[in-house]
Amino acid sequence: MTGVKIGIIMGSQSDWSTMREAASILDELGLGYETRIVSAHRTPDRLWDYGKTAVERGLQVIIAGAGGAAHLPGMMASKTRVPVIGVPVQTRALAGVDSLYSIVQMPKGFPVATMAIGAAGAANAGLMAAAILANSDAALAQRLDDWRAALSASIPDEPSDD
């Protein structure tokens, strides 16, 4: 076991600009993670090995982002019982609706917790992973509560012209 509880995986290097939003949130909350490029189509053996070893390596949450024919999150959920949070990466051709549909409509039995398309979805995936781990980590729960309170406090009461 490596001690790392969160895996951030993505189908391509091109997904990193989106998936780094998840990593940034985890950095803010002081949570460690690993990052890997794991493609359902280009590196299926890597996907298989990652899913097969996830439990024994101590992973507790997997954040999986992919675009287009985005089979990575669902295939990973088929291979491991570690909760998978899916991030539909925004595509140029179909604006990420293809990614969303590829991830969200899982058959009964193998759920993927699907986030919004793009950067907001990736950031929320980080927050969701933190919330899951916070159930058994009081210090993290406090940091997450503080993060949420700071966000609320940053929202102005009224709009401005600036």
Give me the residues that bind ligand RP5 (CB under 6 A), please: 11-12, 14-15, 39, 66-68, 89
User: Which residue lies nearer to ligand RP5 by CB, 82 or 89?
Assistant: 89
Complete DSSP assignment for 112-152: -EE--SSHHHHHHHHHHHHHHHHTT-HHHHHHHHHHHHHHH
User: Which residue lies nearer to ligand RP5 by CB, 31 or 125?
Assistant: 125
Minimum CB separation of residue 153 from ligand RP5 in Å reads 35
Minimum CB separation of residue 133 from ligand RP5 in Å reads 25
According to DSSP, the residues that pair with 89 across neighbouring strands are 67
Minimum CB separation of residue 18 from ligand RP5 in Å reads 8
Distance separating alpha carbons of residues 135 and 74, to the nearest angstrom: 24
Residue 99 has what DSSP assignment? H
Complete DSSP assignment for 1-43: --S--EEEEESSGGGHHHHHHHHHHHHHTT---EEEE--TTT-
Q: Does the annotation flag 20 for ligand binding? A: no
Q: Look up tokens 């781990």; give the residue.
A: 133
User: Which residue lies nearer to ligand RP5 by CB, 116 or 131?
Assistant: 116
Q: Does the annotation flag 42 for ligand binding? A: yes
Minimum CB separation of residue 60 from ligand RP5 in Å reads 23
User: Which residue lies nearer to ligand RP5 by CB, 88 or 126?
Assistant: 88
Q: Does the annotation flag 92 for ligand binding? A: no
Backbone angles phi, psi at 47, to 5 degrees: -60, -45
Per the annotation, binding residues are 12, 15, 42
Q: Which residues are annotated as a binding site for substrate?
A: 12, 15, 42
